Chain A
């Protein structure tokens, strides 16, 4: 280890000598072995300088990689809000907001003009430029202080963006304040319109995902191009983007990975996978870990077959993102208490989306009336779909054949 600490100049000499030795070694391995055995110090050196440059290189490589990672992290701060960022206080960037505000003009004027005496007369134009308003606060925890003075924020409010929601998001407030409507925001809005997000949805879209405003337009276009290359139609892309606003913040590789994940994990065909993510694009932008866990829960705890899981996931993709606790409770009640077999659950997977309390209430009411009969082979069969999806009035009159008042009275006895 002492060798490492020696000055670099010495290293250079060794390097030269080492090169010779290395050449020798290359010539024949047996010779090299001899050399090592014969002249131990030389061999040691040879191995060292064989090792040393590599070590340096590796170190440099790692360092460069670190830098690039750091750089990409900085870039990514606006692109991927999920990535964990250093908690920078919102206030810090607030001073940058000044550019699009009126006070800025004032400050510039003062800078240009040499300090004049208070008694000096000023022209009408100059007088107009001076604003008597108190200056804006340099830091604030809310956008309310700036909205009356910022063109960008005013336009966004008129567009329907809920600033009270946006300001709660990390760094989103700073981002909006540093942007200029004409220069930065307009092009993104036009792009979103081109993609197919409806005008009335734009405000909601930006409320959910303000970070897209800081995104590079070309990157967005490549992502849309990627989706198009995967044979998604224009209307489908529009639907996916407006339902899952974060979709366009995902890089092409990530999108590709995620599409692949659903295809492999569920074992669906390409067309069905596409159909699945079009119906629930949230799957692509959400975390994948819960999806995996839910699939495990379905397979191991509930005992569904693999093809049954495929069917269930294809019919009701929502089940993949549902909370496991709720799924467990619902399945437990349906299977163990109501006695519904697996194949019926596969046929009507939408029962898993229903509220457990609702299933319980209706099941108990039907039992009380003696109508709880969920076997299609027998008469007066009640399908699970009818059980959960109908509103209370229709359920009472058509399924339970009772009045809504009776149902309400019954509910007060359980």
Chain B
């Protein structure tokens, strides 16, 4: 034999692998998720990116996916598999005519023939941000997509900073929309603004208790409150759990809003309504998410950091935090179920 067999496995199967075999052996992401020796493996877990304003979340997700795929495909490939073919002996060699077993590389698995190794990658998005909003945006990759579903069922609190500008009304409540109305704002003071904010917080607190479906006079409610877990665990309208003023310099102001089940447009509408309550009007200049569950601004990756290594690091950094958070919320919720199971076992 002209060359030694590079892999034991190949020596066992001699000859031709049927075309059906090659045709069906599509390289799905699941199959390659297991790390083989010397090859890139798909990261799995949750991480956060910083979504810039003016870009839709789909494009952010697609950009991350494209970069991950490119880097995964750039990783070094194992040498091509070889197989035995019985080729006619060279006439000049002088040996007796016949077939000579020869090691030949399988060209059908050559990267240029087979195409890129990874063609698709599951990248899922957590709570979305609309086009004008910016901030922490959670993405899941590979098996991390399952955690995204769990996170969804946790109904986590998100924190936003919202910028506002008094004296204008636009059609879509943001500063880039079509101007509808103008108003004066000199009479507004910080005290007046904070009074309105307190009213908003109060009404929302009532709504929170209503939608959390818990009897306030029970031990369970007490325990939940101690853990800070009183929040609606089903569908509910947007609820603001806390709101405060960060900056106030007429005509601009900045608020910090803690909320669940919100949309970014709802927050803009809140700014508009604050303006109306203050006998003026206001538009929203910025909606920026600074926290989504456990992911904070510091965890979020900037556009320049969307590469395989940074994402791997970010996933491993946040893994523990995410698990704790999920256990804390879901574990409490499911407490009744394991109890039942225990009872059954005891009965038997």
Which A residues form the contact surface with B (CB < 8 A)? 124-125, 128, 132-134, 136-137, 140, 142-145, 147-148, 153-154, 157, 160-165, 357, 360-361, 392, 408, 411-414
A-B contact pairs, 28 of them (CB 8 A): A124-B96, A124-B98, A128-B88, A128-B99, A133-B15, A134-B16, A134-B18, A144-B22, A144-B23, A144-B108, A145-B19, A147-B107, A148-B108, A154-B107, A157-B110, A161-B112, A162-B112, A162-B115, A163-B113, A164-B112, A165-B115, A357-B55, A392-B304, A411-B52, A412-B302, A413-B288, A414-B134, A414-B288
Q: Known pairs A411-B50, A411-B302, A412-B50. 14 more at Cβ < 8 A?
A: A128-B88, A132-B15, A132-B86, A137-B19, A142-B23, A145-B22, A145-B23, A147-B113, A154-B107, A157-B112, A160-B112, A162-B115, A357-B54, A360-B54
Contact A140 B23 (CB under 8 A): yes
Chain B residues contacting A164 (CB-CB under 8 Å) are: 112-116
Contact B50 A157 (CB under 8 A): no
Contact A145 B134 (CB under 8 A): no
Quote the shortest CB–CB distance from B160 to chain A (angstroms). Answer: 13
Chain B residues contacting A408 (CB-CB under 8 Å) are: 302
Interface residue ranges of B1-36 to A (CB < 8 Å): 15-16, 18-19, 22-23
- When chains A and B are docked, how far (Å) is the Cα of A414 from the Cα of B51? 10
The chain A residue with its CB closest to the CB of B25 is A144
Chain B residues contacting A128 (CB-CB under 8 Å) are: 88, 97-99
Chain B residues contacting A161 (CB-CB under 8 Å) are: 112
B195 lies within 8 A of chain A by Cβ: no
B229 lies within 8 A of chain A by Cβ: no
Chain A residues contacting B304 (CB-CB under 8 Å) are: 392
- When chains A and B are docked, how far (Å) is the Cα of A1 from the Cα of B288? 79
Chain A residues contacting B110 (CB-CB under 8 Å) are: 147, 157
Of the residues A132, A136, A411, contact of B19 by C-beta under 8 Å = A136
Chain A residues contacting B116 (CB-CB under 8 Å) are: 164
Quote the shortest CB–CB distance from B206 to chain A (angstroms). Answer: 34
Q: Lowest 5 A-B CB distances belong to which pairs?
A: A164-B115, A145-B19, A144-B108, A147-B107, A163-B113
- When chains A and B are docked, how far (Å) is the Cα of A157 from the Cα of B18? 21
B53 lies within 8 A of chain A by Cβ: yes
Of the residues A144, A160, A357, A360, contact of B114 by C-beta under 8 Å = A144
Chain A residues contacting B276 (CB-CB under 8 Å) are: none
Quote the shortest CB–CB distance from B48 to chain A (angstroms). Answer: 11
Quote the shortest CB–CB distance from B61 to chain A (angstroms). Answer: 16
Which of B23, B54, B107, B300 has the most chain A CB within a 10 Å cutoff? B107
Contact A133 B16 (CB under 8 A): yes
Which of A136, A144, A157, A164 has the most chain B CB within a 10 Å cutoff? A144
The chain A residue with its CB closest to the CB of B110 is A157
Say yes or no: A157-B98 contact (C-beta < 8 A), given A140-B19, A144-B113, A361-B52: no
Chain B residues contacting A357 (CB-CB under 8 Å) are: 52, 54-55, 303
Task: Give how many B residues have a beta carbon under 8 Å from the other chain's beta carbons.
Answer: 34
Contact B114 A145 (CB under 8 A): no
- When chains A and B are docked, how far (Å) is the Cα of A378 from the Cα of B50? 36
Flag B110-145 by CB within 8 Å of A: 1 or 0 each. 101111100000000000000000100000000000
Flag B282-326 by CB within 8 Å of A: 1 or 0 each. 000000100000000100101110000000000000000000000
B106 lies within 8 A of chain A by Cβ: yes
- When chains A and B are docked, how far (Å) is the Cα of A188 from the Cα of B300? 53
- When chains A and B are docked, how far (Å) is the Cα of A413 from the Cα of B247? 15
Say yes or no: A143-B113 contact (C-beta < 8 A), given A148-B108, A413-B288: yes
- When chains A and B are docked, how far (Å) is the Cα of A160 from the Cα of B113? 10
- When chains A and B are docked, how far (Å) is the Cα of A163 from the Cα of B110? 10
- When chains A and B are docked, how far (Å) is the Cα of A140 from the Cα of B112? 18
Which of B23, B53, B108, B134 has the most chain A CB within a 10 Å cutoff? B108
Contact A414 B52 (CB under 8 A): yes
Quote the shortest CB–CB distance from B219 to chain A (angstroms). Answer: 42
Quote the shortest CB–CB distance from B136 to chain A (angstroms). Answer: 9
Chain B residues contacting A160 (CB-CB under 8 Å) are: 112
- When chains A and B are docked, how far (Å) is the Cα of A162 from the Cα of B116? 10
Contact A148 B106 (CB under 8 A): yes
Chain B residues contacting A143 (CB-CB under 8 Å) are: 113
Quote the shortest CB–CB distance from A22 to chain B (angstroms). Answer: 70
The chain B residue with its CB closest to the CB of A150 is B107
Contact A163 B112 (CB under 8 A): yes
- When chains A and B are docked, how far (Å) is the Cα of A361 from the Cα of B55? 13
Contact B108 A145 (CB under 8 A): yes
Chain A residues contacting B134 (CB-CB under 8 Å) are: 414
- When chains A and B are docked, how far (Å) is the Cα of A392 from the Cα of B98? 66
Chain A residues contacting B86 (CB-CB under 8 Å) are: 132
- When chains A and B are docked, how far (Å) is the Cα of A164 from the Cα of B99? 32
- When chains A and B are docked, how far (Å) is the Cα of A413 from the Cα of B161? 10
Quote the shortest CB–CB distance from A403 to chain B (angstroms). Answer: 15
- When chains A and B are docked, how far (Å) is the Cα of A137 from the Cα of B23? 11
The chain A residue with its CB closest to the CB of B303 is A357
Quote the shortest CB–CB distance from B314 to chain A (angstroms). Answer: 14
Chain B residues contacting A140 (CB-CB under 8 Å) are: 19, 23
Which of B16, B110, B113 has the most chain A CB within a 10 Å cutoff? B113
Interface residue ranges of B322-338 to A (CB < 8 Å): none
- When chains A and B are docked, how far (Å) is the Cα of A151 from the Cα of B303? 46
- When chains A and B are docked, how far (Å) is the Cα of A132 from the Cα of B104? 17
Quote the shortest CB–CB distance from B295 to chain A (angstroms). Answer: 12
The chain B residue with its CB closest to the CB of A129 is B88
The chain A residue with its CB closest to the CB of B300 is A412
Chain A residues contacting B303 (CB-CB under 8 Å) are: 357, 411
